[in-house]
Amino acid sequence: MEPIRSENKVTRLKMISLALGPLVLLGLMIGAFLSGGPTKIFQSDLPAVEELHVLRHALAKDEITLEVINAGPDPVTIAQVMVRGAFWYHEISPQRTLDPLKRAQVLIPYPWNVGEPVEILLVTSTGVTFDYGIDVASITPAITLPALARFALLGVYVGVIPVFLGLCWFPFLRRLGKKGLDFFLYLTVGLLAFLVVDALAESLELTEGLPGSFHGPALLVLGVVGTYLFLLGVSYCIQQRQASNTFGPVLSWLIALGIGLHNLGEGLAIGSAYVLGELTLGAMLVLGFAIHNTTEGIAIVSPILQEKFSLKRLMGLGVLAGAPTILGCWMGAFTYSPVWSLFFLAMGAGAILQVIAVIIGQHGIKEILRPLNLTGLLVGYLIMYLTGLWVASS
């Protein structure tokens, strides 16, 4: 028995050495490159690639703060700062020289005026310039209880109340016949399809503004595909455990989750736009968003119109779909990040796509092509498009 055991140990050691051998060689090669060995030959021929990107600005009285990141592959030293064409005193922390993907705060004492634009130019030690513009100067709110309450109220008006108003159509919708129920179910698909298009369009805009080092398109795909596959697995497991005729409530929760993720991204955009001075929060704008988001309530209740009425369930669905708008407004106002905005919008698009796939999978393509159902789908999309125009023109 001993010779067999020793042979097994030798075999295992050989397998381990064969598995670890390439990894050890790869580590040695990476170490050689990091030490500068092979790249020293080209150092005299390769110019530095400098890329600075401003992630966020904050304005206080007579003071501008920029959060910058080195989005290039080489170190960058910020040598000078110009404001409206003049060199200006400034302070940089933690240091002027930024390694790749490192961040710094640039503090500029400057007497800016409310409502006026501010043009800033960052000059590196090599003379390369990077410009950043503040379209409309306004005080950046600090994290205080009044500010939190103000942005929470904004999220309630824009996201929470409209969703609950949409849920109030539940008693009317459940009194419809089968044809009416099918019509509103496919109207739901049209509503959701518009939200997908809207979220993807906003995500693509954000990818254009992100530094290349963040790989915006890859992050977009991760959010959409990752969320889609995750929810696909969740819905599959639920369907395996429940009868098909009880899947309606689960579908409503999935729809509410998808809309909640979308509203989180919408809240981020609203909060950040308010802080940047790019959004006029007039009554017409709030009304436009309210009408736009009220239709989401129809989408949520459509799968449960034949279920027993439950106020507790409706309240939960409304909170899941609408409350993320408040969180989004807070994040956008106080800790805005284009990376998180992109990721949450992509997750919302992926979640809603999965819900659409579930609805179509349960009823089939032939069911969609029936004239009444197809009309519902087109009407749903058109409703969202027209209310989106209302928002844009408010």
- HEC profile of the chain: CHHHHHHHHHHHHHHHHHHHHHHHHHHHHHHHHHCCCHHHHHCCCCCCCCCEEEEEEEEECCEEEEEEEECCCCCEEEEEEEECCEECCCEEECCCEECCCCEEEEEECCCCCCCCCEEEEEEECCCCEEEEEECCCCCCCCCCHHHHHHHHHHHHHHHHHHHHHHHCCHHHHCCCCHHHHHHHHHHHHHHHHHHHHHHHHHHHHHHHHCCHHHCHHHHHHHHHHHHHHHHHHHHHHHHHHCCHHHCHHHHHHHHHHHHHHHHHHHHHHHHHHHHCCCCCCCHHHHHHHHHHHHHHHHHHHHHHCCCCCCHHHHHHHHHHHHCHHHHHHHHHHHCCCHHHHHHHHHHHHHHHHHHHHHHHHHHCHHHHCCHHHHHHHHHHHHHHHHHHHHHHHC
52-134 maps to CATH 2.60.40.10: yes
Q: Which two tokens stand for residue 373?
A: 């159902």
Over the stretch 38-70, which tens digit does the pLDDT of each residue have? Answer: 555 555 555 667 888 888 888 888 999 999 999
Report d(CA 350, CA 344) in Å as an integer.
10
Per-residue confidence (pLDDT) for residue 281, from 0 to 100: 43
Report d(CA 234, CA 238) in Å as an integer.
6
Model-level pTM greater than 0.85? no
Over the stretch 294-336, which tens digit does the pLDDT of each residue have? Answer: 777 777 887 887 777 788 888 999 999 889 989 988 888 887 7
Report d(CA 320, CA 307) in Å as an integer.
19
Q: What pLDDT band is residue 280 in, cutting at 50, 70 and 90?
A: very low
Residues facing 93 on adjacent strands: 105
Average confidence score pLDDT of the chain = 81
Per-residue confidence (pLDDT) for residue 309, from 0 to 100: 75
Per-residue confidence (pLDDT) for residue 290, from 0 to 100: 64
Does residue 118 or residue 31 have the better pLDDT? 118
Over the stretch 134-182, which tens digit does the pLDDT of each residue have? Answer: 887 888 878 889 889 988 988 888 888 888 888 888 888 778 777 777 7
Nearest-Å Rg of the Cα atoms of the chain is 27
Report d(CA 314, CA 300) in Å as an integer.
9
Q: What pLDDT band is residue 255 in, cutting at 50, 70 and 90?
A: confident
Q: What pLDDT band is residue 81 in, cutting at 50, 70 and 90?
A: very high
